[in-house]
């Protein structure tokens, strides 16, 4: 069973509304084992909606249309589906009654009555929220011969209404039509400190071994957040979910063996969550002094629940006088290895922490202290040792700041792993 997703609305094409609905629908289809190879967006134009629907039905067994079921003139999904089906529209008395009930004695606006129109041969998906019911529309398959049909589901674009219908009716109906209990599951390994091309090179042998199986590996890079390695597997049968988890566990172990401690988290485990876990397990408290990042590191760390147990606090030491008077930085350049080292030791001392982490550098737009834009020094003070790492980061001002925060947290992660390994060896 293949199902495509078609999002309808000119506002999506103009970028005025972000199409999060298609992403959510795709996730639900995958969890149910329904393959989805295409998603598309189309504006509020009758002919283009008809063309998009016919193209989708030429490839897939089913289409989920999202949007265009409201009461206004630009809500034309019903009419477009009716043309694709080759039928007219009929007014449904039950939906008319439901509209009267929903307006509770008030006059129903004339434009709302169109929500009671349904293509001949189609049926409604009842809505418990909103006024727009969904539609289930059978479409004859020209290539399938007599009795063969495909199906178009039309659901509202309002997220709450869409999710109720897709989760409560559309996905279960697709599973019933497919006759197959299957699931498509993915797991993400979050890799930091290694470029995407190098990650792909390291993992290449595993990709070759998986060719022809129901499991695939892909790479998703983010210049500020590192690389996510996605493992996806499709399994079927009565124990599909358990089999999928076993496959993902096996592939995670294989990839960890190849990538080592570059793998820092799984799925939604962000870098700050991993650092938080390591600090909590070691019973250590961290303090942060930030210059160019202006509090980004502290904000990421305090987004983790329970941060007060391992995060002493942070100091946004943006001014040179603050670095010198509070953190003990000597006269001279404040964008330097020595400044980063003293900032890290100073903030740990000032806030009574076990570990001090610092960042100083040049985010732009102009050079500073003889250093070009993108220069960053990250300091770590963890008595009896200290370390400073010099970075040269590319990108605009905000990207340099975000990447610097990520590099600093990853440096701390590595040091925590090394110290933990040393203590246990």
pLDDT tens digits for range 18-64: 999 999 999 999 999 999 999 999 999 999 999 999 999 999 999 99
Residues 65 and 201 in one domain: no
**Number of other residues whose CB lies within 10 A of the CB of residue 127:** 21
In percent, how much of the chain has pLDDT > 70? 96
| Burial letters 359-381, b for 16+ CB under 10 A, else e | bbbbbbeeebeebebbbbbbbbb
Residues 187 and 127 in one domain: no
Residues 233 and 371 in one domain: no
Residue 105: per-residue pLDDT:
63
Exposed, middle or buried: residue 268 (CB in 10 Å: 0-12, 13-18, 19+)?
Answer: exposed
Q: Which of 178, 200, 229 is the last residue of a domain?
A: 178
Q: What integer is the mean pLDDT of 365-393?
A: 95
Residue 145: per-residue pLDDT:
56
Taking the C-alpha atoms of residue 381 and residue 371, their distance in angstroms, rounded to an integer, is 23
Residues 243 and 276 in one domain: no
At 281-298, the pLDDT tens digits run 999 999 999 999 999 999
Q: What integer is the mean pLDDT of 100-108?
A: 72
Residue 98: pLDDT over 80: no
Q: What integer is the mean pLDDT of 122-145?
A: 80
Residues 317 and 362 in one domain: yes
Taking the C-alpha atoms of residue 407 and residue 319, their distance in angstroms, rounded to an integer, is 22
Pair 23, 12: CB distance under 8 Å: no
Q: What band does 388 get if pLDDT is binned at 50, 70 and 90?
A: very high
Q: What band does 229 get if pLDDT is binned at 50, 70 and 90?
A: very high
At 360-371, the pLDDT tens digits run 999 999 999 999
User: Length of the chain in residues, anyone?
Assistant: 425
**Max CA-CA distance within the chain?**
87
Number of structural domains (the chain) is 3
> Which distant-in-sequence residues (6+ apart) come within 8 Å of 146 by Cβ?
none
Residues 388 and 282 in one domain: yes
Q: What integer is the mean pLDDT of 328-339?
A: 96
CA 210 to chain centroid, in Å, comes to: 25
Residue 356: pLDDT over 80: yes
Residues 200 and 214 in one domain: yes
At 192-227, the pLDDT tens digits run 989 999 999 999 999 999 998 989 999 998 877 789
Residues 112 and 216 in one domain: no
Taking the C-alpha atoms of residue 139 and residue 61, their distance in angstroms, rounded to an integer, is 10
**Main-chain phi, psi angles of 318, to 5 degrees:** -75, -40
Taking the C-alpha atoms of residue 149 and residue 134, their distance in angstroms, rounded to an integer, is 19
Q: What band does 92 get if pLDDT is binned at 50, 70 and 90?
A: confident
Question: What is the average pLDDT value for the chain, to the nearest integer?
Answer: 92
At 241-289, the pLDDT tens digits run 999 999 999 999 999 999 999 998 999 899 999 999 999 999 999 999 9
Domain that holds residue 248: 182-266
Q: Which of 153, 178, 203 is the last residue of a domain?
A: 178
Residues 216 and 155 in one domain: no
Pair 55, 21: CB distance under 8 Å: no
Beta bridge partners of residue 314, listed in sequence order? 288
Pair 379, 347: CB distance under 8 Å: no
Residues 162 and 226 in one domain: no
Residues 165 and 190 in one domain: no
Residue 144: per-residue pLDDT:
62
Residue 327: per-residue pLDDT:
97
Q: Which of 113, 147, 178 is the last residue of a domain?
A: 178
Residue 425: per-residue pLDDT:
58
Q: What band does 66 get if pLDDT is binned at 50, 70 and 90?
A: very high
Q: What is the CATH number of the domain that holds 238?
A: 3.30.70.2860
Residues 226 and 329 in one domain: no
Find, among 279, 296, 422, the residue nearest to 361 by Cα.
Answer: 296
At 146-161, the pLDDT tens digits run 557 999 999 999 999 9
Q: What is the CATH number of the domain that holds 70?
A: 3.40.980.10
Find, among 252, 359, 357, 258, the residue nearest to 311 by Cα.
Answer: 357
């Amino acid at each position: 069973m293949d199902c495509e997703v078609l999002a309808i609305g000119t506002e999506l094409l103009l970028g005025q509304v972000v199409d999060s609905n298609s992403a959510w629908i795709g996730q639900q289809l995958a969890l149910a084992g329904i393959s989805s190879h295409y998603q598309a967006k189309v504006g509020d134009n009758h002919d283009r909606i008809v063309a998009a629907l016919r193209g989708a039905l030429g490839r897939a067994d089913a289409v989920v249309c999202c949007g265009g079921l409201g009461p206004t003139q630009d809500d034309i999904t019903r009419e477009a589906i009716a043309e694709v089906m080759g039928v007219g529209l009929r007014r449904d008395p039950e939906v008319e009654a439901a509209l009267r009930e929903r307006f509770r004695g008030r006059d129903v606006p004339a434009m709302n009555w169109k929500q009671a129109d349904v293509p001949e041969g189609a049926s409604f998906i009842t809505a418990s929220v909103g006024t727009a019911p969904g539609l289930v529309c059978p479409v004859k398959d020209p290539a399938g011969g007599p009795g063969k049909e495909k199906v178009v589901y039309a659901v509202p674009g309002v997220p709450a209404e869409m999710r109720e219908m897709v989760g409560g009716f559309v996905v279960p109906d697709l599973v019933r039509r497919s006759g197959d209990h299957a699931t498509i599951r993915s797991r993400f390994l979050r890799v930091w400190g290694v470029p995407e091309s190098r990650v792909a090179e390291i993992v290449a042998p595993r990709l070759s071994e998986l060719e022809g199986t129901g499991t695939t590996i892909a790479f998703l890079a983010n210049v500020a957040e590192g690389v996510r390695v996605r493992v996806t597997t499709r399994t079927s049968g009565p124990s599909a979910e358990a089999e999928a988890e076993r496959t993902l566990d096996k592939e995670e172990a294989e990839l960890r063996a190849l990538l080592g401690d570059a793998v820092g988290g799984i799925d939604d485990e962000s870098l700050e969550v991993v650092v938080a876990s390591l600090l909590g397990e070691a019973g250590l408290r961290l303090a942060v002094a930030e210059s160019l990042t202006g509090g980004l590191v502290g904000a990421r760390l305090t987004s983790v629940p329970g941060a007060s147990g391992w995060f002493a606090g942070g100091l946004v030491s943006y001014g040179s006088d603050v670095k010198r008077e509070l953190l003990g930085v000597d006269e001279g350049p404040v964008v330097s290895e020595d400044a980063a080292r003293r900032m890290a030791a100073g903030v740990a001392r000032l806030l009574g922490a076990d570990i001090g982490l610092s960042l100083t550098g040049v985010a732009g737009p102009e050079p500073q202290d003889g250093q070009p834009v993108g220069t960053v020094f990250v300091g770590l003070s963890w008595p009896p040792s200290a370390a400073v790492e010099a970075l040269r980061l590319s990108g605009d001002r905000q990207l340099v700041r975000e990447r610097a925060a990520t590099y600093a947290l990853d440096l701390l992660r590595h040091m925590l792993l090394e110290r933990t390994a040393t203590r246990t060896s």
